[in-house]
């Protein structure tokens, strides 16, 4: 008896199956777009693929009439700079606090409740306060990303450190290690792969906070462009930008996964087949 749970796709079928949903969505889009174009040749809601391609090549290769920049690249550079600063700051704070909270009972007693409470504050709700405190410049956008994802990183890393078997700590102490040495030589290496995994999981929220901050006040950036052209429903710009953001996020995720496996192969021993 052939059961559905036992039908395993071959490698060719697997690739085909992977492409099929994408193909289906693309077909659906083309059909729906063609229909709207037939009803109204000026329709902006579902622009034809060719029109999006024209817009993208214009944004990527023609200098902007007002600023003289190549829009797509200057937007991407501005957003990536903010994202890198936000993720970098969040990762550093997360690592330091995570190690301290996970390893030092005194630090944990003093800070864990605060981190737990702060992590529950929706960052978007305190945005007006952030603006007044940090201004409307680059700082507030980076701070929004940091506030958005640091509490998650801290809690996740603290838990990772706390879950390190007690025996390792005892052994290190009997060998004469100080707290500082235990932190650097026992806890830190075991936390690093988890930090990268946590960063991967934070990419989505980080992009969300980036786009939100840029939507509110900015002069360049991927989110800025989307919210600017939204004013006149230029979906021929918005849809390619969304695809571009998705691609960037996917690439970062892939890159982080590679770094983790290259840098800490021991942590992925079970994956090897």
Partner 1 sequence: MRFGNGKFGIRALSAAALGLLCSLSILADRAQAEPKKEFNIAWTIYVGWMPWPYAADAGIVKKWADKYGITINVKQINDYVESINQYTAGSFDGVTATNMDGLTIPAAGGVDTTILIVGDFSNGNDGIVSKTAKTAAELKGQTINLVELSVSHYLLARALDSVGLAEKDVTIVNTSDADIVAAFKSPETSTVVTWNPLLAEVNAEPGSVPLFDSTKIPGEIIDTLMVNTEVLSDNPDFGKAIAGIWYETMSVLMDPGEKGKTARAAMGSMSGTDLAGFDAQLAATKLFSTPQEAVAFTESEDLVKTMDLVRTFSFDHGLLGDGAADKDVVGIAFPGERVLGSADNVKLRFDARYMRLAAEGSL
Which spans of this chain sit near partner 1 (rule: CB under 8 A)? 2, 6-10, 12-13, 16-17, 20, 23-24, 27-28, 31-32, 35, 39-45, 54-55, 58, 65-66, 127-128, 131-132, 135-137, 215-219, 224, 227-228, 230-234, 236
Structure tokens at 32: 């729906």
Residue 102, judged by CB atoms within 10 A of its CB (0-12, 13-18, 19+), counts as buried
Q: At what angle do helices 71-103 and 222-229 cross, to 10 degrees?
A: 130
Element (H, E) at 249: helix 235-263
Task: Specify whether the CB–CB gap between 154 and 107 falls below 8 A.
Answer: no
Give the helix ranges, DSSP H, for 40-70: 49-61
Least Cα distance to 207 among 248, 259, 261 occurs for: 248
Cα dist from 4 to 8, 9, 11, 12, 19, whole Å:
9, 11, 18, 19, 21
Task: Specify whether the CB–CB gap between 97 and 247 falls below 8 A.
Answer: no
């Amino acid at each position: 008896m052939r059961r559905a749970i036992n039908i395993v796709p071959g490698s060719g079928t697997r690739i085909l199956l992977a492409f099929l949903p994408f193909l289906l969505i693309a077909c659906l889009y083309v059909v729906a777009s063609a229909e709207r174009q037939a009803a109204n040749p000026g329709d902006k809601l579902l622009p034809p693929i060719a029109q999006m391609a024209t817009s993208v090549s214009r944004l990527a290769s023609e200098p902007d009439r007002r600023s003289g920049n190549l829009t797509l690249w200057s937007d991407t550079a501005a957003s990536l700079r903010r994202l890198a600063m936000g993720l970098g700051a969040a990762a550093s704070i997360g690592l330091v606090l995570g190690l301290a909270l996970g390893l030092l009972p005194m630090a944990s007693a003093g800070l864990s409740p605060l981190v737990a409470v702060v992590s529950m504050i929706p960052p978007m709700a305190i945005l007006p306060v952030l603006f007044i405190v940090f201004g409307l410049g680059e700082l507030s956008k980076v701070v929004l990303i940091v506030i958005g994802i640091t509490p998650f990183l801290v809690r996740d890393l603290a838990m990772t450190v706390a879950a390190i078997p007690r025996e390792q700590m005892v052994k290190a102490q009997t060998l004469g290690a100080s707290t500082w040495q235990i932190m650097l030589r026992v806890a830190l290496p075991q936390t690093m792969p988890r930090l990268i995994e946590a960063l991967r999981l934070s990419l989505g929220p980080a992009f969300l906070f980036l786009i939100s901050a840029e939507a509110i006040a900015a002069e360049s950036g991927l989110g800025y462009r989307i919210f600017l052209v939204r004013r006149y429903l230029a979906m021929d710009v918005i849809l390619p930008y969304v695809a571009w953001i998705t691609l960037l996020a996917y690439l970062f995720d892939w890159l982080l996964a590679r770094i983790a496996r290259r840098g800490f192969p021991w942590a992925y021993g079970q994956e090897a087949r």
